Amino acid sequence: MPEILTYSFMQRAFVAGIMVALVCPTIGIFIVLRRLSMIGDTLSHVALAGVAAGMLGGIYPTYSALIFSILAAIGVEKLRKTFKDYEELSIAIILSIGIGLATILISIGSSNAAIFSYLFGSIALVSNKDVVVVVFLSIFIMASVIFLYRGLFYITFDEEAAALSGVPIKWMNLYFIILIGITIAISMRIVGILLVSSLMVVPVATSLQIGKSFKKTWIYSLLFALLSVLTGLTVSFYGDLAPGGTIVLSGVFILIITIIIKNIQKKLQTVKKVSKVNFFMDKG
């Protein structure tokens, strides 16, 4: 057994990290394709307020962050209906509320060191309770997406056509945005509140470079997220670095390498085409 896995806290971190790596891009692919990337940042700031509130009230922070995130998700969806012509305002309003509330609650409390661990993630502080909550809710999220896959797929690409096909758009949008809130709440322990939205977006951005279909893009995003999390946790352990930042930078590095390889392949294909044209011209 590798040395890194002999530590119980790393075993817990890897279990939680793998579950997070599966859930984040699963939700993220729908977010990216629906051009809702900013909603992750919005709900994460509200989750921070939930963590601070939980610490003040003596409540398990993940539970309070979960409640705050779900309420904020419902708020975003309700405001979207209020500002139909300016839907992005709903995200800005909830983001402002989240930042303001988090600032006040953090200033009242005295657990700044604990807040810091939630901001950027902490592999050493992942408890058995964290693992149980993450695993249970991750299974719930994955099962929900698989069960509602067809409806989510339709509303992602054409909401009007989905409505005509009998998809309950209003209920589906509300349920999906609640899933986003849950994803952020369970991911913050490993990735950190400020960086969780990046894990939802970066692996998907990488997979879009090579994916030829929706399902293939989804599978690639899962693989890239797993690679980012496993690499990030390993590097953060040996380098004594914040896991969230290390995981996200690992994902960005994979994205850059993928783009470079894709550009090289395009240039090689162009050279081959030019060579073929020159060959036939010379023959002519």
- Break the chain into its structural domains and give their ranges: 3-283
Contact between residue 194 and residue 220 where contact means Cβ atoms under 8 Å apart: no
Please give the pLDDT value at position 278: 58
In percent, the amount of the chain with pLDDT more than 70 equals 92
Residue written as tokens 């209906």? Answer: 81
CA distances from 108 to 45, 57, 154, 188 (A): 17, 12, 45, 22
Please give the pLDDT value at position 85: 65
CATH number given to 3-283: 1.10.3470.10
Residue, of 260 and 7, whose pLDDT is higher: 260
Angle between helices 149-157 and 169-191 (to 10 degrees): 100
Angle between helices 214-239 and 243-283 (to 10 degrees): 130
Residue, of 83 and 144, whose pLDDT is higher: 144
Contact between residue 14 and residue 192 where contact means Cβ atoms under 8 Å apart: no
Q: Which long-range contacts (CB under 8 A, 24 or more apart) does 205-208 make?
A: 205/32, 205/255, 206/251, 206/254, 206/255, 206/258, 207/25, 207/29, 208/32
Please give the pLDDT value at position 283: 57
**What is the rounded distance in angstroms from the CA atom of residue 14 to the CA atom of residue 19?**
9
Within 3-158, where are the H helices? Answer: 8-33, 38-57, 61-82, 88-108, 112-120, 128-147, 149-157
Residue written as tokens 């209920």? Answer: 171
CA dihedral 72, 94, 157, 219 (to 10 degrees): -60
Please give the pLDDT value at position 274: 59
Residue, of 227 and 57, whose pLDDT is higher: 227
Please give the pLDDT value at position 130: 86
Angle between helices 8-33 and 196-207 (to 10 degrees): 60
For residue 198, is pLDDT > 80?
Answer: yes
Of 62, 74, 93, residue with least CA distance to 196: 62
Locate 150 and state its tokens: 């067809």
Residue, of 125 and 94, whose pLDDT is higher: 94
pTM, whole model, 2 decimals? 0.86
Confidence of residue 22 (pLDDT cuts 50, 70, 90): very high
Q: Find the length of the chain.
A: 284
Q: What integer is the mean pLDDT of 5-20?
A: 89
